[in-house]
Chains A and B, each alone.
Chain A
Amino acid sequence: MILFDHVTKLYPTQQRPALDDVSLEIEKGEFVFLVGPSGSGKSTFLRLVLREERPTKGQVWVLGKDLNRLSNWKIPMLRRQIGTVFQDFRLLPNKTVAENVAFALEVIGKPSSHIKKVVPEVLEVVGLEGKESRRPDELSGGEQQRVAIARAFVNRPMMLIADEPTGNLDPGTSVGIMKLLDRINRLGTTVVMSTHDAQIVDQMRRRVIELEGGHVVRDQTRGVYGYAQ
């Protein structure tokens, strides 16, 4: 699924690399937490997977493709197989819940008959049935994040990338979102999420990769958040 081979990422304006010689592999169907202090390189890692950034050194393989050798016009095809969720939801405020989800399919040219069929289905999966025609500002934070997850999942991607998906939510709401991500993972989608939420990591007992200053300092199959060094 994801293979990092001695990957270093140095932003042009920065002295110190955001990721420094990182090598790791994530298998199909895994659920992986990416933890570490602020500035440790979690978002950089995820951006490299999405090919929003290119590594300074080393190779990134995603879904069997060497991203260094992937030509620009093939990037959209890669991203269609990866769902993405962010802390700030990134919904379109002037579109309804259903329209926000449908947008993701419209812009990749899916026929409207297909869209009419799958949008209600995915809204049911994320637990938003009955709220199709609300706008984002008529929803709670947790509900908005569910819309974002529905949008990321509606195309049934191989992989879901979530950058602090519960970062803006209270603990109770976060649990609901985590249950949803767990369910999506059990449906066969690989999930990689970064988080600062110790409670969630401790409860889920999944693989934990800890970054610090751009290095992998821990990679544990059934880890917890605050593992003492």
Chain B
Amino acid sequence: MRATFVASEVGNGLRRNLTMTLAVIITVAVSLALFGASLLVRAQVSAMKDFWYDKVEVSIFLCSKGSDTPSCAGGAVTAAQRDQIKADLESLRPLVDEIYYESKAEAYQRFTEQFKNSPIVDNVTEKSLPESFRVKLADPTKYDVVASAFAGRPGIEQVNDQRQVLDKFFQLLGGLQAIALLIAGVMLVVTVLLIVNTMRVAAFSRRRETSIMRLVGASNFYIQLPFLLEAAFAAAIGAVLAIGALVLMKVVIIDGVLAPSFQFTAFVGWEAVAAIAPVMLITGIALAGLAAFFTLRKYLRV
């Protein structure tokens, strides 16, 4: 293998086909940037899940006087009911990780703390807030086990899972990610088509060289290598640009805008970017290489 010869062939090929090469670089960059962005959103969702699922609890609200759900027909919860609920919760360990009882007084205190700047506090009295058990689950996805065991039991007004609220939010993010992934997929298809066409044009414009190569007994590998390297090289440049765009997204959008304004939640760190970048690079090069390989197999036959 003559490395310098192959390198000069690749250089010539890229220069001769400059506009096509640029088109390939740009489409690869755009599609991989979208692909990387969608992976970043996924990493973000999973970072937020880790952060929030750790904090969310299942709340079991107990009946107060005047609650109008059927399970509260017997009036306010009795001490016996409360003890039974507590005992049943204890029996659910280790799924149930922590159990915390919140009395009406504590609920009122927390409420006034949370909404201290809001006029709503004036309309709420200690009596109007329900007492509750706050339960932390070892595995937050197993909410159903708790809900089915306690919902509708006499003395229990309502079983509430904070996760459900969060899930709506995560679904929204998931939807965004799916859309980004879909657009990235379409762009990647466009990229493949463009590479196929570029290779076809390149093979055609160099048919003189390749036909002579065949006649003098150059191996298929040697004939196709410059084309494959050209495609891989253009894809690599596109991937590097896309990775640059991803870094920019992290610096400007996440660290610059989102993180300072939403301090209550976690954001993806650089390790996510470091994990996504090689995936983008490999996807780009592999896609271009495969597209080129299968095109050339058709157009540069022995």
- Where the two chains meet, the residues of A that have a C-beta atom closer than 8 Å to any C-beta of B are 50, 72-73, 75-82, 84, 90, 92, 103-104, 106-112, 151-152, 155
A129 to chain B, nearest CB (A): 22
Which secondary structure dominates where chain B touches chain A?
helix
- Compute how far the CA of A75 lies from the CA of B221 in the bound complex, rounded to whole angstroms: 13
> Are A90 and B217 neighbours in the complex by a CB distance under 8 Å?
no
Which residues in window 203-227 of B have CB below 8 A to A?
208-209, 211-220, 222-223
> Are A104 and B216 neighbours in the complex by a CB distance under 8 Å?
yes
- Compute how far the CA of A95 lies from the CA of B214 in the bound complex, rounded to whole angstroms: 18
B302 on the A face (CB < 8 A): yes
> Are B5 and A75 neighbours in the complex by a CB distance under 8 Å?
no
Q: Which of B211, B216, B220, B302 contacts A108 (CB 8 A)?
A: B216
Q: A106-B2, A107-B213, A109-B2 are in contact. Are A76 and B208 (CB under 8 A)?
A: no
> Are B208 and A108 neighbours in the complex by a CB distance under 8 Å?
no
Residues of chain A with a CB closer than 8 A to B223's CB = 107
Which of B5, B209, B211 has the most C-beta atoms of chain A within 10 angstroms of its own C-beta? B5
> Are A90 and B219 neighbours in the complex by a CB distance under 8 Å?
no
> Are B219 and A73 neighbours in the complex by a CB distance under 8 Å?
yes
Q: Which of B4, B208, B222, B302 contacts A107 (CB 8 A)?
A: B222
> Are B216 and A92 neighbours in the complex by a CB distance under 8 Å?
no
B8 to chain A, nearest CB (A): 10
21 of the cross-chain contacts (CB-CB < 8 Å) are A50-B215, A72-B302, A75-B217, A75-B302, A76-B214, A76-B217, A76-B219, A76-B220, A77-B217, A79-B215, A79-B216, A79-B217, A82-B217, A90-B212, A103-B216, A104-B212, A107-B216, A107-B218, A107-B222, A108-B219, A152-B216
Residues of chain A with a CB closer than 8 A to B2's CB = 106, 109-112
B165 on the A face (CB < 8 A): no
> Are B5 and A80 neighbours in the complex by a CB distance under 8 Å?
no
> Are A108 and B212 neighbours in the complex by a CB distance under 8 Å?
no
B1 on the A face (CB < 8 A): yes
B2 to chain A, nearest CB (A): 6
Q: Which of B4, B212, B217, B220 contacts A103 (CB 8 A)?
A: B212
> Are A155 and B216 neighbours in the complex by a CB distance under 8 Å?
yes
> Are B222 and A109 neighbours in the complex by a CB distance under 8 Å?
yes
Please tell me the size bucket of the interface on B. Answer: 10 to 19
Q: Which of B213, B217, B220 contacts A78 (CB 8 A)?
A: B217
Residues of chain B with a CB closer than 8 A to A92's CB = 208-209, 212
> Are B215 and A108 neighbours in the complex by a CB distance under 8 Å?
no
- Where the two chains meet, the residues of B that have a C-beta atom closer than 8 Å to any C-beta of A are 1-2, 4-5, 208-209, 211-220, 222-223, 302
Residues of chain B with a CB closer than 8 A to A81's CB = 217
- Compute how far the CA of A137 lies from the CA of B113 in the bound complex, rounded to whole angstroms: 91
Q: A75-B302, A106-B5, A109-B1 are in contact. Are A84 and B215 (CB under 8 A)?
A: yes
Question: Which A residue sits closest to B302, measured CB to CB?
Answer: A75
Q: 9 closest A-B pairs (Cβ-Cβ)?
A: A80-B217, A79-B217, A107-B218, A104-B216, A76-B217, A76-B219, A106-B5, A107-B213, A84-B215
Residues of chain B with a CB closer than 8 A to A80's CB = 216-217
B237 to chain A, nearest CB (A): 26
- Compute how far the CA of A79 lies from the CA of B211 in the bound complex, rounded to whole angstroms: 12
Question: Which B residue sits closest to A93, measured CB to CB?
Answer: B208
- Compute how far the CA of A81 lies from the CA of B223 in the bound complex, rounded to whole angstroms: 18
- Compute how far the CA of A107 lies from the CA of B209 in the bound complex, rounded to whole angstroms: 10
> Are A108 and B222 neighbours in the complex by a CB distance under 8 Å?
yes
Question: Which B residue sits closest to A75, measured CB to CB?
Answer: B302
Which of B208, B213, B215, B220 has the most C-beta atoms of chain A within 10 angstroms of its own C-beta? B215
- Compute how far the CA of A73 lies from the CA of B217 in the bound complex, rounded to whole angstroms: 10
Residues of chain A with a CB closer than 8 A to B220's CB = 72-73, 76
A214 to chain B, nearest CB (A): 24
- Compute how far the CA of A213 lies from the CA of B185 in the bound complex, rounded to whole angstroms: 56
